[in-house]
Amino acid sequence: MLNMINVDVTLEGDEGQVEVLKEINLTLEEKKIYVMTGPNGGGKSSIAKTIMGIYQPSGGQILLDGMDITNKGITERARLGIGYAFQMPPRFKGMKVRDMLTLASGSANLANQCDLLYDVGLCSQDYLDREINASFSGGELKRIEIASILARNLKVAVFDEPEAGIDLWSFQKLTETFENLNAKHNTTIVIISHQERILRLADQVIVVANGMIDEITGKEEILSEIERLDSECRCRQDCIKGGPENAECN
């Protein structure tokens, strides 16, 4: 459904040109949930921004349902059904939550807007008429942005580290919401995340490091790797706490 073929992205950094993405080959299939993970600075947000048209490829091709969208801008891609919830959402100054949701969904239906806010763990009574400004916490802002993405009937929705700044209850709600969105609207979902709970939702896990796709694998492989690292780490801590300085783990 969405294909990135040999996509390179080079951007102008403070110290000249930076090769941010190298030879990205990625196929996103209809109705699937992908979780993108990997080290900080690996290129996850850059892949998301390239899908959204915020970053333009310096080489390669991007196809949506077979149509070449490589040179299409953000607005056109949004119109074609691609959405991106930023890692650090911008603040839409002077806009009420209600207006932002109306703009996103194309409808001012109150029941819908209540549902959307509920889906991200926010109470509509407290939020609908609030103006989006500096009084919002990072987590509140993120959830309102996620709600505005949910409001649209998208083909591909990318959520960039949605868990940041979110309490446990809302996080639980959000994971259910992602599953519902996928089941109800057939939306292909990409979630950039390091959370085990989110990894468990994945049909496939995309590991990104050094501006490249390291591997595309099943969640079982990743989860057992996490378990291995976790027990290795616990073992080391036990060694440090209890044993002699250079004790071997067994």
Segment lying near ligand ADP (by CB under 6 A), choices 43-51, 72-80, 121-129, 195-203: 43-51
Of 121 and 211, nearer to ligand ADP (C-beta) is: 211
For ligand ADP, the binding residue among 4, 26, 37, 46 (CB under 6 A) is 46
Q: Does 18 engage in binding with ligand ADP (CB under 6 A)?
A: yes
Q: Which is nearer to Mg ion, 44 or 77 (CB)?
A: 44
DSSP states along the chain:
-EEEEEEEEEEEETTEEEEEEEEEEEEE-TT-EEEEE-STTSSHHHHHHHHHTSS--SEEEEEETTEE-TT--HHHHHHTTEEEE-SSPPP-TT-BHHHHHHHHHS---HHHHHHHHHHTT--HHHHTT-B-STTS-HHHHHHHHHHHHHTS--SEEEEESTTTT--HHHHHHHHHHHHHHHHHH--EEEEE---HHHHTT-SEEEEEETTEEEEEE-HHHHHHHHHHHHHHHHHHHHHHHTS-TTPPP-
**Which one of Mg ion, ligand ADP, none interacts with residue 243, CB within 5 to 8 A by kind?**
none
Identify which of residues 58 and 153 has a Cβ nearer to ligand ADP in the complex.
58
In the complex, the smallest distance separating the C-beta of residue 26 from ligand ADP, rounded to whole angstroms, is: 14
Could you say whether residue 37 binds ligand ADP (CB under 6 A)? no
Binding string, 102-121, against ligand ADP, x = CB under 6 A? Answer: --------------------
CB of 33 to ligand ADP, least distance (A): 19
Per partner kind, with CB cut-offs from 5 to 8 A, the member of ligand ADP, Mg ion, none near residue 11 is: ligand ADP
Q: Does residue number 3 form part of the binding site for ligand ADP (CB under 6 A)?
A: no
Question: Which residue from 4, 33, 35, 43 is in contact with ligand ADP, where contact means CB under 6 A?
Answer: 43
Binding site residues, ligand ADP, CB under 6 A: 11, 13, 18, 20, 40-46
